[in-house]
Amino acid sequence: MKTTAAIAILAAAATTSYAAPAKRAVTDTDILQYALTLEHLENAFYHQFLGQFDAAAFKNAGFPDWVRGRLENIAEHEAQHVALLSGALGSAATQPCEYQFPGVTDPKSFAATATLIENVGVSAYLGAASSIVEKAYVTVAGSILTTEARHQAWLNSAVEKNSAWSGPEDTPLDFDEVYSIASAFIKSCPSTNPTLPVKAFPALTIGEDGTVSTSASTDGTYVQVIAGLTSNVFPVVNGKVQGLPNPQGISYAVLTTQGNNTLVGDDNIVAGPVILNNPFNSKQSNPAPAF
């Protein structure tokens, strides 16, 4: 299992979680506000670091001129997503929060973190799709989803020199799983923002030797790896996960009390998700994860 600098950044950021209220039924308005919360984060991320790292910084980092130019395009897209969702919500629109992006210190760590943030965005829209009732909103969400996927594919391949995809299917994550990742970047939000029916799980890290680190108890737990539409669980014994696989590309893992291979839910997730990143070369086959 490869731990990239960007994953280390996410793990460090996740040591504190932004508190969230008790859960309730999710409405279409909630989903739009949830999506806007993520788009505000992405918008802030790109504009902050494009403002901080100029063309000379990208050149000194070894990137060709067109990399920063296309990142500016992505920043414009994220701003448009914010405008689109804000327009749909009107006076109910979520406002930007105050964010933190620890560990982003240069154009390389900026691009690496952008790759993972975009992948989480894809998983977020994909996971929320089945909960949307209004058909028009499905089209809007789908239009943003495909663009986010193109962002991630370009960043991971043209910029990071890895694969443009992870497997035959992308990985959906539910509201709480996505919020648990996103909340690590949120310092505080306006008190007037609408309350979302989401919660953040405790942070989770998994070491190269399988050591599971979290504030939650690991007694009687398992690590479930979710890659595309496939999942499987692996027992945690004496604080270490046993037989953890290395599915190709970007996948996710959660700590759970559920010991079977059925996809876990919010009621049995103990901590996580943690992002796993295992780049593969162009000569490898790209099957479904072999669990």
Contact 275, 7 (CB under 8 A): yes
Percent of the chain with pLDDT over 90: 82
The burial of 101, by beta-carbon neighbours within 10 Å (0-12 exposed, 13-18 middle, 19 or more buried), is given as buried
List the domain range (segments joined by +) for residue 257. Answer: 204-278
pLDDT, the chain, mean: 91
Tens digits of residue pLDDT in 190-225: 999 999 999 999 999 999 999 999 999 999 999 999
Q: Residue 33: which pLDDT band, with cuts at 50, 70 and 90?
A: very high
Tens digits of residue pLDDT in 42-86: 999 999 999 999 999 999 999 999 999 999 999 999 999 999 999
Is the pLDDT at 266 greater than 50? The verdict is yes
24 compared with 97, residue with greater pLDDT: 97
SS3 281: coil
Residue listed under structure tokens 């990399």: 67
215 & 95 share domain: no
**Dihedral sign, Cα of residue 283, residue 285, residue 289, residue 291:** negative
The token duo for 262 is 């059925």
Q: Which residues contact 148 (CB under 8 A, 6 or more apart)?
A: 118, 121, 122, 125
How many Cβ atoms are within 10 Å of 215's Cβ, its own excluded?
10
pLDDT at 15: 46
In a domain, 165, yes or no: yes
Last residue of a domain, one of 122, 154, 188: 188
In a domain, 197, yes or no: no
31 & 113 share domain: yes
Query: In angstroms, rounded to a whole number, what is the distance separating the alpha carbons of residues 289 and 291?
Result: 6
Is the pLDDT at 282 greater than 90? The verdict is no
Tens digits of residue pLDDT in 135-194: 999 999 999 999 999 999 999 999 999 999 999 999 999 999 999 999 999 999 999 999
Query: In angstroms, rounded to a whole number, what is the distance separating the alpha carbons of residues 73 and 123?
Result: 21
150 & 60 share domain: yes
Contact 276, 1 (CB under 8 A): yes
283 compared with 257, residue with greater pLDDT: 257
